[in-house]
């Protein structure tokens, strides 16, 4: 193979990624199929980074702050508090965007990423390794995903109700 990034099926990794993006997000003219679909996907990547940063920065702080607590209590706090901190930041963005659907749909993307990771790990790892993965998955994923998804959908529902009341008043 002339190029070290070429795959046996032909084409470079860059070509395959470009095809993926075109199929998923772009129409034949190179325009986005749905701006909301594309923006929510990109926003979900930002949310992923926010949650990763909240866990990265808060785990050690919580570990030292609650060193005298039981292991169970420390694990619960380390699973929930960084997830809630990330949720506060992510759900605050609901008020920034004019299209109020973006934040709830970004959480749907995050749920899809989590499900894809779970299925992929179930398929490629041995049973004992998968159990270890499930432990970390359960500590890192549900708190932020559930709280953020619930809050963002409640925010959206409240926004829609207010919009309907304002429309009726006119």
Number of residues assigned to the chain:
170
User: What local confidence, expressed as pLDDT, does residue 135 receive?
Assistant: 92
Measured at the CA of 85, the angle between CA 79 and CA 90, to 5 degrees, comes to: 120
Q: For the chain, what are the domain ranges?
A: 39-169
Give the model's confidence band at 167: pLDDT under 50 very low, under 70 low, under 90 confident, else very high.
Answer: confident
Q: What is the pTM of this model?
A: 0.81
b/e burial code for range 142-164 (CB count within 10 A of at least 16 → b): ebbbebbbebbeebbeeeeeeee
Q: Assess whether pLDDT exceeds 90 at residue 18.
A: no
User: What local confidence, expressed as pLDDT, does residue 100 receive?
Assistant: 94
3-class SS string, 40-102: HHHHHHHHHHHHHHHHHHHHHHHHHHCCCCCHHHHHHHHHHHHHHHHHHHHHHHHHCCCCCCH
Q: What is the pLDDT of residues 86-107, one digit of tens each?
A: 999 999 999 999 999 999 999 9
Which tokens sit at 86? Answer: 């990330």
């Amino acid at each position: 193979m002339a190029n070290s990034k070429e795959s046996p099926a032909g084409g470079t990794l860059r070509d395959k990624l470009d095809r993926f993006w075109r199929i998923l997000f772009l129409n034949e003219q190179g325009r986005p199929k749905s701006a909301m679909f594309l923006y929510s996907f990109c926003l979900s990547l930002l949310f992923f980074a926010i949650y990763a940063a909240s866990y990265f920065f808060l785990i050690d702080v919580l570990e030292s702050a609650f060193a005298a607590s039981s292991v169970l209590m420390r694990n619960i706090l380390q699973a929930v508090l960084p997830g809630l901190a990330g949720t506060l930041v992510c759900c605050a963005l609901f008020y920034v965007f004019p299209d109020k659907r973006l934040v709830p749909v970004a959480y749907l993307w995050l749920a899809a990423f989590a499900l894809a990771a779970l299925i992929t790990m179930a398929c490629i790892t041995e049973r004992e390794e998968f159990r270890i993965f499930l432990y970390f998955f359960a500590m890192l994923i549900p708190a932020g995903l559930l709280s953020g998804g619930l809050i963002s959908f409640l925010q959206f529902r409240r926004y829609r109700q207010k919009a309907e009341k304002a429309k009726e008043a006119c």
